[in-house]
Structure 1
Amino acid sequence: MPFDEHFHWRRKNALRLYRHISGELSGSPPREERLTRFQLHRAALMLRVWDGVESGEPRRLIASILINEKVRTLRALDWKNAPERRRLSRILAAARERIEGGYLRWLVPRARHQLHDVDRKT
């Protein structure tokens, strides 16, 4: 386990995992480590979009299932300009970013994010 700025959180979670594997009560994660309802919803949406694209489904079909069923009947020109198409692209870009390492931000407690965000702004 690396001894870095996240050591405290890694150690706590490693101990929780050990207790869980050993059949002991591991307890729920601390509030600051839990994903918000929005983050959980967004993560599920990103995974569903990513899985759909990776399995070769047309993006319009994915958008019609996950965002707005009416896009299925749009003309090609209307689909090119549809807000659902742009939203799907943003969700897919966010999924790609999370897959390439951005998921680590979800593993760091929110209070730390706020501190790091303040540091970046100054």
Structure 2
Amino acid sequence: MDAYLGMMRALVDASLEGADDHPDLERFADGQALQLTRDMLAGHDSVATGEPVLTPQAAEVDLRQDPPRVVVEDCVDETDWVMEGYESTSAGERSTRLFVATVTEQEGEWKVGELWLGEIDGC
């Protein structure tokens, strides 16, 4: 869970700074998830406002798999997190979106390797 929350904190912090990357993204994400979060940041036109409300839960845990993995599902409330150019509803309208993250352990470190974003109001 720490890897997912760390990745999301880096994503939100970067969006609030108007940055297209954040040094902690590579610490908590790699592969497709790292690319998607960077694309999200590069796709907005200005400094974001507000923050999302996260409610992550471990949907699947398989520590015997090689590599060990955890699937995190989070119905992210994006109502107050407004990023220009990022697909969401208008400010003030309730907006939720399912985030599904696959977190794996490699060389003693847990990182989000895959991240899927559901439809707006999909959860």
Larger helix share, 1 or 2: 1
Give the TM-score normalised by the residue count of structure 1: 0.23
Structure index of larger Rg: 1
What TM-score results when the alignment is normalised by the length of structure 2? Answer: 0.23
